[in-house]
Amino acid sequence: MTDRKKYQKGWYQANKERLTKKRHARIAAERAEAGVQVRVYVRSGAATRRDYDIRRKYGITEEQRDKLAAAQGGKCAICESDAELHVDHCHATNKVRGLLCRECNIGLGKFKDDLDLLERAKKYVQPTSNPS
């Protein structure tokens, strides 16, 4: 065994108890932090973590989101697919616009909600798309 390995092993043995206490304290702090996060949404009156997140991010309840989904027939407001729906909102006003599938929501995000860019994209795609 090299001198370095001997030193490391000796140091670990000498400090084992202190390191164990430090590790246990860190784990306890992480668990306490996780407990605080759970209590926050329970105290807010939210029934689920999902309800808490929707309220916090978009200012609507899960019930309002479900009513919006029912009003849209459970389909994406753009492509009308039956995929899982996500809340779409205006980033400038934070107003909820509707529910979109993941692909449509990401697509709008890539265009940064810029109507001019969307119109240019439409003109770009139109000549090669099939008439419907």
State whether residue 31 is helix, strand or coil: helix
Look at the pTM and tell me if it is higher than 0.75: no
76 CB-contact burial (10 Å; exposed 0-12 / middle 13-18 / buried 19+): buried
Would you state the structure tokens that stand for residue 21, as one six-digit string?
Answer: 């206490």
pLDDT, tens only, 43-92: 666 667 778 788 888 999 888 999 999 999 999 999 999 999 999 998 88
Q: What is the mean pLDDT of the chain?
A: 87
Q: Percent of the chain at pLDDT above 70?
A: 88
CA distance 33 to 55: 21
Architecture in CATH of 49-128? 3-Layer(aba) Sandwich (3.40)
State how beta strands 96-101 and 85-89 pair: antiparallel
pLDDT at 129: 77
Please state the domain extents for the chain.
Answer: 49-128
Instruction: Point out the least confidently predicted range of 3-7, 71-75, 91-95.
Output: 91-95
Determine contact, residues 54/87, Cβ cutoff 8 Å: yes
